[in-house]
Structure 1
Amino acid sequence: MTTNLSTEPTFPINFSQSTPYLVVVDTAIDNYQYLLASPLLGREVHILDIETDGIAQIKTLLSQFEGLSCLHLICKGGPDHLELGTTRLDVDNLWDYADEICQWQDYLTEGAEIFIYGCELAASRLGQAFVSWLGLLIGATVRTE
């Protein structure tokens, strides 16, 4: 894989060394290769295939872990939606994916947190509602950065 490190991402990433967490990066993010370099070196980082359903990919990925207290999603999106692989997840289809998303909590600890970076998901009231509903489905605190 060719890596282009010409620009750094514009969002903060702050990880605790002692927290079991997983980082999932969608390759639709500009210069996503940078995230695979030094800031995340040695971390459990996984790349989403942009030609496959991202919700299914994340569930499959999570099923390989147990007791994660933190999930970091780095993806594109807008004021009211996320783009994960081929999936555009928004308020119109969130409930279509509800069963699959609810299963994520099987792999997370009680009080787990999910951080979403790289998009403006909570920039609108609809997006803020979406974040709340997502948190209810997963049984975790969802934060956007």
Structure 2
Amino acid sequence: MTAITQFEVKAADGSTASLDAHAGKVLLIVNTASKCGFTPQYTGLEALHRGYSERGFEVLGFPCNQFGAQEPGDAAEIANFCSLTYDVTFPVFAKIDVNGPTADPLFERLKSEAPGLLGSKAIKWNFTKFLIDREGNVVARYAPTTKPEEIRKDIEKLL
């Protein structure tokens, strides 16, 4: 099966980006939103990113507007918000869909390899998180209510 890092995604500027640039790293892939009750998790995500980046860990953010229209801005507005409000330094890609017929292939794969509660594949809300090992395998899925700091032990096991 193809590693997650073999997927191509859209960068914030609309260009195609290969996740191969993140190969060999432990990744936390998150669908994000700027106007969500869970938006303050950007602080915890950035803390994880900065705290473990030297050991080969990265957070990858994928804005999504499918849940309560909580990510209405364009790429520039999203980048500005993330930078100015939460001092985000991890990569934030182009806005995508994570559910339905236009769901991004990366998220289709993540959902199939790490279903949610009772085997459900649909993402329920913003800030669903997927932990990926250094070989590009999906290790775990975390609910939006799971705070980034609660994932530390799982990340440390993979580093």
TM-score greater than 0.5 by the shorter chain:
no
Relative contact order: is structure 1 or structure 2 higher (C-alpha 8 Å, sep ≥ 6)? 2
TM-score when normalising by structure 1: 0.30
Query: Higher strand share goes to which structure?
Result: 1
TM-score when normalising by structure 2: 0.29
